[in-house]
Amino acid sequence: MELRCCLLLFGLGLAAAKLTGEIEIDVDEGHDWDILDINEVAGVDLLEGDIQLDEASHRNTIIGERYRWPTPIPYYLEDSLDMNAKGVILKALDQYRLKTCIDFKPWKGEQNYISVYKGDGCFSSVGNQQVGKQRLSIGKNCDRVATVEHEFLHALGLRHEQSRADRDDYVDIMWDRIVPGKEHNFKMNDDTMTSALGVPYDYSSVMHYSKMSFATGSEPTIVTKIPHFMDIIGQRISFSTGDLSKISHLYNCTKSSMFVESCHFEEENICGMIQGAGNKKWERRASVDGGPQTDFSNMGECKGKGYFMHFSTTSAQPADRASLESQWLYSKPGTHCLQFFLHQSGASDDVLNIWVRDYDQANPGSKLKLIRSITGGVRGSWELHAITLNMTRKARVVFEGIRGNGPSTGGFSLDDINLSSMECPQHIWHIRNITGLMATTPSGRKLYSPRFLSPTGYSFQVGVYLNGKSSRPGYMGIYFYLTSGPNDHNLQWPCPWHQATMVLMDQQSDIRQQMNMHRMVTTDPGKKSSDGTEFYWDDPRKVGSKVSVSDGSFYYRGPGLGTSSFLAHNRLKSRNFIKGDDAFFLFSLEDISALLVSQSLARAAVHVDDGLKKSAAQGPPQDTATHAVVVTAAAGCVVTVAVVLILIIRRRRRQQESDRAVIIQDMPGFMEASYNLYYMRL
């Protein structure tokens, strides 16, 4: 255990001898790993590829109250998990909290719980097996949000979509193309034992096999009756609408714990929003002279649909104002993320203020607090905004437009508002004319994002191969790089345990329907170059390359980490990853060093004694064993804890500087012009 802690801390990753900004490591080693491929390489032979056999899996899956979990479901992240996997798992659990009524909580000694560990592959049992500690494996290459969603769907009670009793009506299984001996993986479930829960056969389920599952050659083993779905089956992006419906039926869902409100203004009641203070009004429009010609939700493609809210500053006098207030919103008090699309076509000194109107005991008549002011000017396109705000249990969000003095031929337009208690992405990268860029960018060429700053002060950027690496055309590739920035002399090097989340947004109106594509990578401070002389995540001035910018300035970019198989092009063209001619990437770089500490030490230590008593009295023997291991781990990890404490103290110091860092980012001159796109030929 002690050895494992040390390995966890200092890492073993090796890279090329001399590090530069041109070096990048593909965490997928050039593969588009699916769960079945990972398990095959790992040498595990499980039912349907990733279902752990137990008595109930043979007989039953979905039907039966006893196989359901009480929610919130207790979970435990075992020490064997990679740091990146831990962060990915927590991100996936948040997707459940946003999109379903399933909530999770750290295990505090409850009898039955899901214990996640790093096994040989990605697999789970089906449903709550009532065995106390029920293990679920997130092994090597399983650290993707959709893979974790998939395995947890098994744990919640779902089987694979193509094993449904009615599947022969929707797909043909090509038995002669299946690897001999693997045919049993295509067995159907008996519909007296399992249920499709009234949801039609779902080709886009995250629980569906891909067309090449268990194939001997290059011919598909699953052929969809409707050809369109050949390239849809096997998606590992996110829950489909059908997956969410099944969970909703199975667990009698009424409300998610993180979702608050969504509005695309298609209904005339505008989601209960009202006109607040001000002598002018927001209008519900389908197009505006001098403003957007279509809404954002439908882009004018649906006749008779496609509305947004508009405050015209053309027809207003200086200082005129109009307020659009949401209905009363009830949610857990605390931090929320407000996302919306804004089209600006008014005067440069028009202002859009975002307020929160809190109702609490101290302010029963409500109290307004200003969250953000957005200055006017003509932007000419729908722009995504993501704003962090604090809310009390009952509150309203207020959009207040104020007319400036300058000449205006338009105003402010709002569409696709979403409010949730998810964390906001720290940065948004809007790529315009993506269709044109994809048509003209050869494979092997990369598009770099502007540089951004993490809340802890690290500067980074993301490189995207729109048409794939030369060795992997047909895929979009994505890589994360540390870059030189204004705080580098105050930062710790090598950069310890920062997790980059790179998301391509599915631009659906309702955040619950968005199938965003995530990829996350983590900076392991112990990772070295292949000759062991350099640290991979060291100061980019030391291990990076000088990059010249068109304005004559320069910076340094360190080596990259990412994947050449971020998203296959046929999937990129599905959903709304590209809408109009725009794509939005969402980035965050978070300090996850707190996850170094064993979960039981950090969150459940006070319950260890209770748990021991309980397991001795009634729990299964393995619970006692678990606690014994936890105690041993505690002793073995003393060194780790000491180092972690140092890391945490340093992190706090850096966080004190983070506000300043954010302000520095907004200063002109530090970053390249926001959307100044430039290439680097490999």
Which letter, b or e, does each residue of 187-223 get, where b requires 16 or more Cβ atoms within 10 Å of its Cβ? eebeeeebbbbebebbbbbbbbbbbbbbbeeeebbbb
Single out the segment in contact with Zn ion by CB under 5 A; choices: 46-54, 254-262, 286-294, 642-650: 46-54
492, burial (CB in 10 Å: exposed 0-12, middle 13-18, buried 19+): middle
**Site map for Zn ion, 3-42, x if CB under 5 A?**
----------------------------------------
Q: CB of 238: closest distance to Zn ion in angstroms?
A: 15
What is the phi-psi region of residue 319: left when phi exceeds 0, alpha when psi lies from -120 to 50, beta otherwise? left
CA distances 192 to 153, 171, 186, Å, are 20, 21, 18
Q: CB of 315: closest distance to Zn ion in angstroms?
A: 57
Q: Are 643 and 492 in contact (CB under 8 A)?
A: no
Instruction: Give me 50's structure tokens.
Output: 């990733």
DSSP assignment letter at 469: B
Q: CB of 154: closest distance to Zn ion in angstroms?
A: 6
Phi, psi angle pair for 627, to nearest 5°: -65, -40
| Residue 45 vs 551, nearer CB to Zn ion | 45
| Mode of pairing for the β-strands spanning 554-568 and 394-402 | unpaired
| Residue 51 vs 478, nearer CB to Zn ion | 51
Single out the segment in contact with Zn ion by CB under 5 A; choices: 47-55, 312-320, 498-506, 664-672: 47-55
- Helices H, strands E: what count in the chain? 14, 33
**Residue count at the site for Zn ion (CB under 5 A)?**
1
Q: Which ranges in 479-543 belong to alpha helices (H)?
A: 540-543
| Residue 250 vs 329, nearer CB to Zn ion | 250
| Residue 24 vs 50, nearer CB to Zn ion | 50
Alpha carbon 121 to chain centroid, angstroms: 22
DSSP assignment letter at 602: I
Single out the segment in contact with Zn ion by CB under 5 A; choices: 50-58, 383-391, 430-438, 592-600: 50-58
> Which one from 151, 261, 400, 590 is the annotated catalytic residue?
151
Q: Tell whether residue 249 is among the known ligand binding residues.
A: no
CA distances 53 to 56, 124, 140, 147, Å, are 8, 9, 21, 19
What is the phi-psi region of residue 444: left when phi exceeds 0, alpha when psi lies from -120 to 50, beta otherwise? left
| Residue 50 vs 79, nearer CB to Zn ion | 50
Q: CB of 121: closest distance to Zn ion in angstroms?
A: 11
Q: Are 528 and 15 in contact (CB under 8 A)?
A: yes
Q: Tell whether residue 569 is among the known ligand binding residues.
A: no
Residue 243 is a binding residue for Zn ion (CB under 5 A)? no
Q: CB of 151: closest distance to Zn ion in angstroms?
A: 7
| Residue 47 vs 273, nearer CB to Zn ion | 47
Q: CB of 160: closest distance to Zn ion in angstroms?
A: 6
The whole-angstrom separation of Cα 634 and Cα 642 is: 12
Single out the segment in contact with Zn ion by CB under 5 A; choices: 45-53, 222-230, 547-555, 576-584: 45-53
> Does the annotation count 151 as an active-site position?
yes
| Residue 50 vs 672, nearer CB to Zn ion | 50
Point out the residue whose Cβ comes nearest to Zn ion. 50
The whole-angstrom separation of Cα 29 and Cα 367 is: 54
Which letter, b or e, does each residue of 515-550 get, where b requires 16 or more Cβ atoms within 10 Å of its Cβ? bbbbbbbbbbbbbbbeeeebbbbbbbeebbbebeee
Instruction: Give me 407's structure tokens.
Output: 């000449």
- Reference 18, options 554, 563, 528; nearest CA is 528
Alpha carbon 405 to chain centroid, angstroms: 42
Q: What is the 3-state secondary structure (H, E, C) of 511-529?
A: CCCCCCEEEEEECCCCCEE
The whole-angstrom separation of Cα 270 and Cα 586 is: 27
Residue 50 is a binding residue for Zn ion (CB under 5 A)? yes
| Residue 50 vs 149, nearer CB to Zn ion | 50
| Residue 50 vs 350, nearer CB to Zn ion | 50
Single out the segment in contact with Zn ion by CB under 5 A; choices: 43-51, 313-321, 444-452, 668-676: 43-51
Q: CB of 163: closest distance to Zn ion in angstroms?
A: 10
| Residue 153 vs 354, nearer CB to Zn ion | 153
Q: CB of 98: closest distance to Zn ion in angstroms?
A: 22
Element spanning 116, H or E: strand 113-117
DSSP assignment letter at 618: T
Count other Cβ atoms within 10 Å, centred on residue 443. Answer: 16
Q: Which ranges in 66-209 belong to alpha helices (H)?
A: 83-99, 145-156
- Reference 15, options 28, 30, 25; nearest CA is 25
Q: CB of 213: closest distance to Zn ion in angstroms?
A: 10
Strands (DSSP E) found in 523-634 = 528-529, 545-548, 554-568, 583-591
**Site map for Zn ion, 418-457, x if CB under 5 A?**
----------------------------------------
The whole-angstrom separation of Cα 425 and Cα 432 is: 19
| Residue 50 vs 78, nearer CB to Zn ion | 50
Q: CB of 47: closest distance to Zn ion in angstroms?
A: 9
Q: Tell whether residue 154 is among the known ligand binding residues.
A: yes
Q: CB of 157: closest distance to Zn ion in angstroms?
A: 12
Residue 161 is a binding residue for Zn ion (CB under 5 A)? no
Alpha carbon 230 to chain centroid, angstroms: 26
Binding residues, by number, are 150, 154, 160
Binding residues for Zn(2+), by number, are 150, 154, 160
Residues that bind Zn ion (CB under 5 A): 50
Question: Hey, which residues are catalytic here?
Answer: 151
